[in-house]
Structure 1
Amino acid sequence: MLSKTKRVARSATVAIAAAAAFTVVMPSGNAFAIDHVECRGGENFLKIWSHSGDGRSSVDCYANKGRTGFGNWWVDRISTGNNDLIYYDANGDSVRINRWTDITFPHRPPKVKDIEIL
Structure 2
Amino acid sequence: MAAAAAAVFTMLTPTGTSFAIDHIPCKDGENFLKIWSHLGGSTSVDCYANRGRISFGGWWIDRIYTGNNDLIYYDSNGADVRINRWTDISFPNRPPKVRVIEIL
With structure 1 as the length reference, what TM-score do the two structures score? 0.82
Q: Pick from 63, 74, 94: which aligns with 1:77?
A: 63
Q: Pick from 19, 23, 48: which aligns with 2:35?
A: 48
Whole-angstrom distance in 2 between the partners of 1:66 and 1:89: 17
Whole-angstrom distance in 2 between the partners of 1:29 and 1:106: 41
The CA deviation at 1:22 is 1.4
Using CA pairs below 8 Å that are at least 6 residues apart, which structure has the higher relative contact order?
Answer: 2
Partner of 2:48, secondary structure, is strand
Structure 1: 5+ residue runs without aligned partners?
1-13
Instruction: Quote the residue 1:63 is aligned against.
Output: 49
Q: Pick from 72, 77, 102: which aligns with 1:86?
A: 72
Matching residue's letter, 2:22: D
Residues 1:102 and 2:88 aligned together:
yes
Matching residue's letter, 2:23: H
Whole-angstrom distance in 2 between the partners of 1:113 and 1:59: 16
Matching residue's letter, 2:8: A
How many pairs does the alignment contain?
104
After TM superposition, the structure 1 stretch with the greater mean CA deviation from structure 2, 73-82 or 16-25, is 16-25
Evaluate the alpha carbon distance shift between residue 29 and residue 94 of structure 1 in structure 2; reply closer, same or farther with a 3 A threshold: farther
Larger-gyration structure (1/2): 1
Partner of 1:16, secondary structure, is helix
Matching residue's letter, 2:100: D
RMSD over aligned Cα, in angstroms? 1.5
Instruction: Quote the residue 2:20 is aligned against.
Output: 33
